[in-house]
Amino acid sequence: MADATLITGPLLRFAGDPFATSWENAVLIDTDGAVLVEAGFIRAVGSAGALATAHPDVTRVHFGPDHLICPGFVDAHVHYPQTAIIASWGKRLIDWLNTYTFPEEMRLSDPDYAKAIASRYLDLVLTHGTTTVASYCTIEPHSVDALFDAAAGRNMRIVAGKTCMDRNAPDGLRDTAQSAYDDSKALIDRWHGTGRAHYAITPRFTPTSTPDQLAALGALWAERPDCLMQTHLSEQIDEISWVRELHPQARDYLDTYEAHGLLGERGLYGHAIHLEPREIDRLAETGAALVHCPTSNTFIGSGLFDMTGLTARGIPVGLATDTGGGSSFSMLRTMAAAYEIGQLRGTPLHAAQLMWLATAGSARSLHLGDQIGTLAQGFEADICVLNLASTPAIAQRVDQASGFWEAVFATIMMGDDRAVAGVWVAGERQPAASATAI
């Protein structure tokens, strides 16, 4: 195993879903753990002493007791074309789209600019410990190619799709029902299942897709049910009112998707804050996943996601930055915002639940839970190592911590890219990470 690497130090492990059972039984920290990585995969997980004895000739990388070896973060809902406009001054959703999002997405009609933004975005998220994203692109097929190409060059596992819009958008950002179908189908044929790429059929949301376009994309999904389908659902009250005006015959917002074949187990519905009881029932019945985007929900004043109530119904939930409506590229900041929203609802989340959401939970929502998001034998070696004392402010808090989870929580609440001490993508260590090589 000359090319193998043994990464040792405190290790985060999952034994179950901390929303389905107690977090104490579902999420564990092995303070003397180790991960053996070879040829892009995790070959073994166990105690550092045992694995070091069994594999004396491998390269070793050791992290001390103030670190945590985790799965790479999985960001389940982003808009990479919005990278350059992140943290634009607050507007409501529709105003924000018209003022910032649509003009910036039109800039990606230039293939060179699309390539530059795709590379910039992936480099930024890697510095924050994120190794997989599910992204919306623009209506331009080359914007999808740009992101898949950039991810392939970094060997990142990725989900992406051409955003489809044929109404209520500027002239330069509208396609048609037919072109949305044709372009998406061609992109599926080119990318889906190639390397570490997965395609997601992507109607932006009901207000920007006519019934004909929704039906065309529903037909495409029926033809290619192995693909994911991602869209937005019930983000803001005024958005829901707009959908009601556009579709007076629909029972609710979700019904505008369901009526056109866009509700299913491999569906991903971002935000889902203001759901009706029927919508919750149908989501639970179909096994569709929701994606919680806490920083964007607070940034543009959308509302408070009901994590506890929805997970109690067995609905899979992922966690996401929602770049650039979200205000950070960091999944640490996103976990902190999810905690804060839980507090406002009276149901605060434990650090163990937050870490699971940002890794295994998001991977499950993307139907990749058997490949990424967990440090276990046979999984792909996407790994993030956190320094739990990365700044003086965090270190002084950790000095007072009564246990390991208190130390982890301090980094969730106050950490940023400085807390990322190492990142591996498909077993390859990324540059600019600090650790002790042995």
Residue 436: band (very low, low, confident or very high) from pLDDT cuts 50, 70, 90: very low
Residue 103: band (very low, low, confident or very high) from pLDDT cuts 50, 70, 90: confident
In this structure, the answer to whether residues 110 and 61 fall within a common structural domain is no
Contact 164, 143 (CB under 8 A): no
Q: How many domains does the chain have?
A: 2
Is 80 exceeded by the pLDDT of residue 435? Answer: no
25: domain CATH number is 2.30.40.10
Q: Mutual orientation of helices 331-345 and 404-414 as an angle, nearest 10°?
A: 100
Verdict on whether the full-model pTM lies above 0.75: yes
In this structure, the answer to whether residues 256 and 380 fall within a common structural domain is no
Residue 2: band (very low, low, confident or very high) from pLDDT cuts 50, 70, 90: low
Residue 1: band (very low, low, confident or very high) from pLDDT cuts 50, 70, 90: low
Q: Return the bridge partners of 258, or none.
A: none
> Closest Cα partner for 374 from 384, 238, 185?
384
In this structure, the answer to whether residues 117 and 37 fall within a common structural domain is no
In this structure, the answer to whether residues 67 and 180 fall within a common structural domain is no
> Closest Cα partner for 159 from 223, 202, 215, 99?
202
Mean of the pLDDT values across residues 346-362?
98
- Structural domain ending residue among the three candidates 342, 365, 388: 365
Residue 87: band (very low, low, confident or very high) from pLDDT cuts 50, 70, 90: confident
> Closest Cα partner for 164 from 87, 249, 93, 257?
257
In this structure, the answer to whether residues 219 and 334 fall within a common structural domain is yes
* Domain that includes residue 299, residue range: 73-365
- Structural domain ending residue among the three candidates 335, 365, 395: 365
In this structure, the answer to whether residues 171 and 319 fall within a common structural domain is yes
- Structural domain ending residue among the three candidates 365, 398, 421: 365
159: domain CATH number is 3.20.20.140
How does pLDDT run across 131-184, given as a tens digit for each residue?
999 999 999 999 999 999 999 999 999 999 999 999 999 999 999 999 999 999
In this structure, the answer to whether residues 165 and 214 fall within a common structural domain is yes
Mean of the pLDDT values across residues 193-210?
98
How does pLDDT run across 16-60, given as a tens digit for each residue?
999 999 999 999 999 999 999 999 999 999 999 999 999 999 999
